[in-house]
């Protein structure tokens, strides 16, 4: 084995091996408890980003650990057709060739998108494999594939038949850039500095004018009323009168409506029912005409008179100028307001009157709310996200699901050119069921991408068929996703899941934060600060990236991407590699059958086995609680500190020594501990653990299916932890003295240790060989009755006093100063503890064991302090 771990080699070797062995394929075994995760399907628009890497790593850790724990683990992969995003990308590509989608026509264009999809699906699969994800590719799905399309149709038709899907003419959010309707949540509101334009509309009777204010003056071309508050005294006598709309000359009424805010502006508002949601509602109450003044591209239409053909913003400029010239616009104020932008294209969203399809949310939301308030709620992790979800679903509005795109699930509604009836159908139809005419035309629109994503946890398992997979693996166990799509996706999966399967689609939702750049900025294409996970893997290996992401922080919080942290993780991998290399070099000829822990275990053996037990318990518990960071740190500490820094060093004398029995015991312990540790680490670092494990004396096919370690009660020795503690403390003190007194390890010195009692004496005597090895003394004396020389450097630990006679080598004043510093520190501790103990409240109210611990601490500090003070006195004499 080389001295450095080569990630590329291991990664290239093991992923194909895993696939060939079908280790990732779920069994659908009735004997086993299923554990299911469906991957949040990435968009087929392009490459995976570092956020996917985080999200997928966490899922892989979960699924790998559950698989090893004996569950029938299914991690189902798939991709999303991502309507607007994908269509926009393909259109962009065509544009480079000077072609628009209209040049190609719908059919040809969709063919092009499928080509794109095939290409990127392949890229994404390759990226998944690079990351080492244990996905069951035999069950991979795509939101537009046949089965899922069938599920989409089924859901659409059922909701339609139930009256929960309807078609109608309403104000929706229109994106003039991509020329499609958007749902409410696809609109991002940004605070912008705009203007409030004050206009005077003249009364028809010539008795004056009424003042209105607007932020979108171009919409005045579509005004069909002016509204005032019915109780507004200023306007009482104007209600019912008629004004003449400037420029257009249309006569429009002044109406009274409670909706009007008397405080805002002049208290009178212009009403444009076709371009504003509130005006739309008001217009319906007052039977006002709805006049659209723009087309789908955001250009002024034939109703805009002279402005026809102008872009909406150009028109705004021009119309303001014209209104000013006419004296209609008499004041322009700076005005900061929230302006909706398309989440996809960034274009300013236009409230627009349009015929669209909607999901009626009331009944669906109610069911979801009730469920969430019952025992059968979805567990959000961290739980604060539950509130965010509930608040949203409790205030939800109907969902606009039709999109004026070509890429997506086409709406299964047909219009008859003969009788004019509309038919919604599961199957494509060619004749009208109402009049038998064949003049049928399918609705041009497609469904919101999230409509199909909402069905993902069950449509991927074969629903609406009653498949075996559905019966066995549904509902799923955990959904891992970012907080940015709780509304878009999580909420919608929950209410569709409840409606169509009667259950929550998942038991837990693990919410992750965003991976930001090193400065804490959101990664974005425009900033160019994104980190490509493939580059990270290329430089440091997949395991390092995974470990870094998984231990980066706590669930739900954002984390910053820092290369130094990837480097640390890479170093950790290398540490494991070298520890294993050491072990393997000393396990020559040793087989799995040779492992024997029944022999005469030493304190260090007992200690490392006990620490292993603790680590197994911690990691298992923490993973169940989704505490990936803590579990990873626990493993890091165990491997680096306990295993490498102490156990391996202490194993050396046995491995190199003549005692065959001791050697075999040490080999057994080392081999066992390493094997168990690799298994615990495997979910985080699949490649390196497999690579090493395959070198280890063991008989399994792959660590991916090796049983998860369990706490071994027969090898649990809590007293060994205390015993090792003393040994470690003695060794550390000697090192500390050597460092502080500038006595390098190469310099042999005499070392005298005076244990405080028989027990400590026995322990330290047993550990003599280790003290020799770690402290490199010329002569070591451990005795309860030591004749301490005058010129000596010393230290006091709990259980022993340590002396290094360094006559002539040291500066007495320096040693006194060093001891006084220790004494000072101990004095503070003694004082702190005493203060607690004299406090009657503490002694009376604190739990007995806490008081007892505090007393013991106080006694220990006091004893150490006294001993140090004695040493100081002796040096001063």
Partner RNA sequence: GGACGAUUAGCUCAGUUGGUUAGAGCGCUACGUUGACAUCGUAGAGGUCGGCGGUUCGAAUCCGUCAUCGUCCA
Q: Find the binding residues for RNA in span 465-484 (CB under 7 A).
A: 483-484
Total residues found in the chain within this entry: 877
Size, binding site for RNA by CB under 7 A: 72
Pick from 539, 574, 698, 834: which binds RNA (CB under 7 A)? 574
Beta carbon nearer to RNA, 236 or 625:
625
209 touches RNA by CB under 7 A: no
Task: Name the 3-class secondary structure at 617.
Answer: helix
Q: Does 869 bind RNA (CB under 7 A)?
A: no
Q: If binding is defined by CB under 7 A, does position 259 make contact with RNA?
A: no
> Among candidates 730, 713, 847, 870, which has minimal Cα distance to 798?
730
Q: Which of 39, 587, 622, 751 binds RNA (CB under 7 A)?
A: 622
How far apart are CB 776 and RNA at their closest, in Å? 7
Contact pick of 423, 578, 698, 862 for RNA (by CB under 7 A): 578
Shortest Cβ 96–RNA spacing (Å): 31
Residue list 581-600, contact with RNA (CB under 7 A): 581-582, 585
Kindly tell me which of 74 and 826 has the beta carbon lying closer to RNA.
Answer: 826
Site for RNA in 644-683 (CB under 7 A): 644-645, 648-649, 652, 656
Whole-angstrom distance, CA of residue 218 vs CA of residue 220: 5
Minimum distance from CB of 428 to RNA (Å)? 37
Footprint of RNA on 159-188 (CB under 7 A): 184-185, 188
With binding defined as CB under 7 A, does residue 554 bind RNA? yes
CA dist 49 and 495 (Å) reads 29
Judged by CB under 7 A, the stretch of 427-435, 454-462, 640-648, 756-764 that binds RNA is 640-648
From residue 515, give the alpha-carbon distance in Å to each of 117, 558, 562, 565, 570: 26, 6, 10, 13, 19
| Residue 8 binds to RNA (criterion: CB under 7 A) | no
Where is 805: in which H helix or E strand? strand 800-805
Near RNA by CB under 7 A: residue from 560, 716, 791, 827: 560
Element (H, E) at 705: none
Least spacing, CB of residue 87 vs RNA, in Å: 23
627 lies in the site for RNA, by CB under 7 A: yes
Distance CA 268, CA 229 (A): 8
Q: CA-CA distance, 135 to 137, in Å (whole number)?
A: 6
Cβ closest to RNA, residue 551 vs residue 704? 551
Place of tokens 């509604």: 413
C-beta of residue 172 within 8 angstroms of C-beta of residue 280: no
Stretch that binds RNA, among 21-29, 201-209, 380-388, 662-670 (CB under 7 A): 380-388
Using CB under 7 A as the binding rule, whether residue 138 contacts RNA is answered as no
Give the burial string for 359-395 (b: 16+ CB within 10 Å, else e): bebeebbeebbebbeeeeebebbeeebbebbbeebee
> What is the distance between the alpha carbons of residues 368 and 391, in angstroms, rounded to a whole number?
12
**DSSP string computed for 285-297:** HTT------B-TT
Q: How far is the CB of 151 from RNA (least distance, A)?
A: 27
Near RNA by CB under 7 A, which window of 293-301, 426-434, 551-559, 717-725? 551-559
Q: How far apart are CA 186 and CA 199, in angstroms?
A: 32
DSSP 145: S
The correct pick among 106, 204, 321, 732 for binding RNA (CB under 7 A) is 732
> What is the footprint of RNA within residues 819-838 (CB under 7 A)?
825, 829
Q: What is the DSSP string of 744-769?
A: -TTS-EEEEEEESSHHHHHHHHHTHH
Is 384 an interacting residue with respect to RNA (CB under 7 A)?
yes
* Residue selected from 562, 664, 716, 827 as contacting RNA according to rule CB under 7 A: 562
For 837, phi and psi rounded to 5 degrees?
A: -70, -25
What DSSP assignment string belongs to 223-283? --EEEE-TT-GGGGGGTT-EEE-TTT--EEEEEE-TTS-TTSTTSEEEE-TTT-HHHHHHH
User: Residue 627 Cβ, how far from RNA at the closest point, in Å?
Assistant: 5
CB of 842 to RNA, least distance (A): 4
Spatial distance between the Cα atoms of 264 and 381, rounded to a whole number of angstroms: 43
Contact with RNA (CB under 7 A) among 136, 281, 421, 558: 558
Q: What element of type H or E holds 197?
A: strand 187-202
Q: Is 102 in the site for RNA (CB under 7 A)?
A: no
Q: Which of 197, 487, 500, 803 binds RNA (CB under 7 A)?
A: 487
Binding residues for RNA restricted to 37-56, rule: CB under 7 A:
none
**Footprint of RNA on 292-351 (CB under 7 A):** 338
């Amino acid at each position: 084995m080389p001295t450095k771990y080569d990630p590329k080699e291991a990664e290239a070797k093991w992923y194909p091996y895993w696939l060939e062995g079908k280790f990732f394929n779920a069994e659908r075994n009735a004997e086993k408890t299923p554990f299911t995760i469906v991957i949040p399907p990435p968009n087929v628009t392009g490459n995976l980003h570092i956020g996917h890497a985080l999200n997928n790593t966490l899922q892989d850790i979960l699924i790998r650990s559950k698989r090893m724990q004996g569950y029938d683990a299914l991690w189902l992969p798939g991709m999303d057709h991502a309507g607007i995003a994908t269509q926009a990308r393909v259109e962009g590509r065509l544009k480079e060739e000077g072609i628009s989608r209209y040049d190609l026509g719908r059919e040809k264009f969709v063919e092009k998108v499928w080509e794109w999809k095939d290409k990127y699906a392949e890229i994404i699969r390759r990226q998944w494999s690079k990351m080492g994800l244990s996905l069951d590719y035999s069950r991979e799905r795509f939101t537009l594939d046949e089965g899922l399309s069938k599920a989409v149709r089924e859901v659409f038709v059922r909701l339609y038949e139930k009256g929960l899907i309807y078609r109608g003419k309403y104000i929706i959010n229109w994106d003039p850039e991509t020329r499609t309707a958007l749902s409410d949540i696809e609109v991002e509101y940004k605070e912008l500095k705009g203007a409030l334009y004050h206009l005077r509309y003249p009364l028809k009777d010539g008795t004056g004018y009424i003042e209105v204010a607007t932020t979108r003056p171009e919409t005045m071309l579509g005004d069909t009323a002016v509204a005032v508050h019915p109780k507004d005294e200023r306007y009482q006598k104007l209600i019912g009168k008629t004004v003449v709309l400037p420029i257009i000359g249309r006569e429009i009424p002044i109406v009274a409506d409670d909706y009007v805010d008397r405080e805002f502006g002049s208290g009178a508002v212009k009403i444009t029912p076709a371009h504003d949601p509130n005006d739309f509602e008001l217009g319906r109450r007052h039977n006002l005409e709805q006049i659209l003044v723009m087309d789908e591209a955001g250009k002024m239409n034939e109703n805009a008179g002279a402005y026809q053909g102008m872009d909406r913003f150009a028109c705004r400029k021009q119309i303001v100028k014209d209104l000013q010239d006419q004296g209609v616009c008499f004041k322009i104020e700076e005005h900061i307001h929230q302006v909706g932008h398309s989440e996809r294209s960034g274009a300013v969203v236009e409230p627009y009157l349009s015929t669209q399809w909607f999901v009626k949310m009331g009944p669906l939301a109610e069911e979801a709310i009730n469920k969430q308030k019952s025992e059968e709620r979805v567990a959000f992790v961290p739980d604060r996200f539950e509130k965010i979800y509930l608040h949203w679903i409790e205030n939800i509005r109907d969902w606009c699901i039709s999109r004026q795109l070509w890429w997506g699930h086409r709406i299964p509604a047909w219009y008859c050119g003969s009788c004019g009836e509309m038919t919604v159908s599961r199957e494509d139809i060619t004749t009208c069921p109402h009049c038998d005419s064949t003049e049928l035309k399918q609705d041009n629109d497609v469904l919101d991408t999230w409509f199909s994503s909402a069905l993902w946890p069950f449509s991927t398992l074969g629903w609406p068929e009653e498949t075996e997979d559905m019966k066995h693996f549904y509902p799923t166990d955990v959904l891992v996703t970012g907080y940015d799509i709780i509304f878009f996706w999580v909420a919608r999966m929950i209410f569709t899941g409840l409606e169509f399967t009667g259950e929550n689609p998942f038991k837990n939702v693990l919410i992750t934060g965003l991976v930001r750049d090193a400065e804490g900025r959101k990664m974005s294409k425009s900033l160019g600060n994104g980190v490509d996970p493939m580059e990270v893997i290329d430089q440091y290996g997949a395991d390092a990236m995974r470990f870094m992401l998984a231990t980066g922080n706590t669930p739900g919080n954002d984390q910053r991407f820092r290369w130094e942290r990837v480097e640390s993780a890479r170093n950790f991998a290398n540490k494991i590699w070298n520890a294993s290399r050491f072990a393997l070099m000393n396990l020559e000829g040793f087989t799995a059958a040779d492992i024997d822990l029944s022999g005469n275990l030493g304190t260090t053996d007992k200690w490392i086995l006990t620490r292993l037990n603790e680590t197994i318990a911690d990691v298992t518990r923490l993973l169940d609680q989704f505490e990936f960071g803590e579990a990873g740190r626990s493993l890091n500490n165990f491997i680096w500190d306990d295993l490498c820094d102490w156990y391996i060093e202490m194993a050396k004398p046995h491995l190199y020594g003549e005692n065959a029995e001791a050697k075999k015991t040490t080999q057994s312990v080392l081999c066992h501990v390493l094997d168990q540790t690799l298994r615990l680490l495997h979910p985080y670092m699949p490649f390196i653990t497999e690579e090493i494990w395959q070198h280890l004396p063991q008989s399994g096919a792959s660590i991916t299916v090796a049983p998860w370690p369990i706490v071994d009660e027969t090898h649990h020795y809590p007293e060994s932890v205390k015993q090792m503690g003393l040994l470690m403390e003695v060794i550390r003190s000697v090192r500390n003295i050597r460092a502080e007194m500038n006595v390098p390890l190469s310099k042999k010195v005499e070392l005298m240790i005076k244990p405080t009692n028989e027990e400590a004496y026995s322990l330290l005597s047993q550990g003599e060989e280790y003290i020799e090895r770690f402290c490199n003394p010329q002569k070591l004396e451990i005795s309860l009755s030591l004749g301490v020389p005058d010129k000596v450097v010393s230290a006091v630990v709990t259980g022993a006093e340590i002396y290094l006679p360094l006559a002539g080598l040291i500066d007495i004043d320096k040693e006194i100063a060093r001891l006084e510093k220790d004494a000072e520190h101990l004095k503070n501790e003694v004082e702190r503890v005493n203060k607690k103990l004299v406090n009657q409240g503490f002694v009376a109210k604190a739990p007995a064991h806490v008081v007892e611990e505090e007393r013991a601490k106080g006694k220990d500090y006091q004893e150490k302090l006294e001993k140090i003070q004695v040493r100081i006195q002796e040096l001063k004499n």
